[in-house]
Amino acid sequence: MSSLPLSGSKFTLDVSGVAGLLGGDEAVSAMTIVHVFRGRKWLGWYNSPGSYIIAKKYRQLANSRFWDGLLPGINTDPATLVDLNASKGPKFKGVESGSIIPETSHLASLVAKECQMERGIDVPGRKTQPVGATIIDLHYVPDATTIPKQPARYATALAFIPMSVSFGTCIACALFGDWYAFSMILLGIVANGISSFVLGSGKFTFSHPIPAPGAPRGDGLLLADNNIIVLLGEESAVNSITRGKFSLKFDSETEYKNINMCSLILTAQFIAQLLLIPQAALFGQVMFLASLAVSWAYNSWLSSLDKAEIQRRMLLDVVLKRPMMTKYMLGTRTTMAVFVLLALNPSDPAKVLDDILPNNTKVWRKWKSIIVSKLQDGEKMHFQPGRLG
């Protein structure tokens, strides 16, 4: 055994508390995307900080008297835990079916965000209150339940950096005989690796309800802020947006014993590090801190990734096979209303017009009757600067 570096120094580092508490939010956020990258579950073998925070987060899945007593907390489901149901979508109104959904699913909010980010085609004409109108042609009907193919990204390759540093510092501690630091780095590698594998073993699943046979087309409107989204397609295709959801399915449902066991391992790791890291020599403490620093940097980078963007790409590109999406920017709400009617060609244009423009004064009723009359008579309508003809 070689002489231990820094053995003559009287300086010491107390990094035991740093290991279990600091960096926990980044570590939890990094864990929440382990299921959406192909092969990511195999790449968690590094000494990650924040073990106690991670354990505290995932113990919320405990769903039995034993685990609730051992790991107290508010129970939740995996989809909520990893932010797969983070938001509600805009109101939906079915044109032919007559269905009204005051709050649509998280997936509808993802679609609304995608439409909002689109620049749109500017339609010439009078401009008072510009509003967007996005037409989405849902040409593909996904299965009722499917497991989307996970994309392969450079995030998986970059995981070899913290893994290499953790194993390298672990080997260095062994070479110089600092077994306290060696065992704690190794324990961190094993605990984080097992936790990543167990959480990543959940099946990332998309599901949506199948309509009854003979149901009318699902054409309808998502009424987002300053943007009307026209959904065109079969009822089942539209349901995939308005009522569909992402979820995580584990073989251990509903008690999630394997995830709760990971929480115990991470808690035990935090306690062991709290007790044993102060016993390590300064060189071992430096090696331990170096492995944490690189792992924290990697976790911080993972947590900075736009999870909503990842989910949008999974929904639009993988599940819905990239539907045709075209956005137009119109100068007034009346222009937008007529534009939507022309895009939908509904069987009851008067009702749709009332949904889009609820104004019920005498002037508005007269204007609506003229527009509906032109539509029913098959008269051509086109947009000109300054007026609608």
8 Å CB contact between 50 and 31: no
8 Å CB contact between 40 and 200: yes
Distance separating alpha carbons of residues 141 and 282, to the nearest angstrom: 61
8 Å CB contact between 321 and 116: no
Quick one: pLDDT band at residue 389, thresholds 50, 70, 90? very low
What is the residue extent of each domain of the chain?
16-84+149-203+250-306
User: In this structure, is the dihedral angle defined by the CA atoms of residues 32, 33, 36 and 41, taken in order, positive or negative?
Assistant: negative
| DSSP collapsed to 3 states, 93-134 | EECCCCCEECCECHHHHHHHHHHHHCCCEECCCCCCCCEEEE
pLDDT in tens, 116-139: 888 888 888 777 778 889 999 999
pLDDT number for residue 165: 96
pLDDT number for residue 383: 47
pLDDT in tens, 333-355: 888 888 888 888 888 888 888 88
User: How does 129-150 read in b/e, with b if 16+ C-beta sit within 10 Å?
Assistant: ebbbbbbbebeebbeeeeebeb
In terms of pLDDT, which residue wins out, 210 or 382? Answer: 210
Residues near 208 by beta carbon (within 8 Å), at least 6 away in sequence: 142, 144, 236, 239, 240, 243, 244, 245
| 94, β-bridge pairs | 220
pLDDT number for residue 9: 54
Entry pTM? 0.81
**Residues in the chain, how many?**
389
Residue 155 has pLDDT above 70, yes or no: no
Number of Cβ atoms within 10 Å of the Cβ of 274: 16
User: How does 90-113 read in b/e, with b if 16+ C-beta sit within 10 Å?
Assistant: bbbbbbbbebebeebbbbbbbbbb
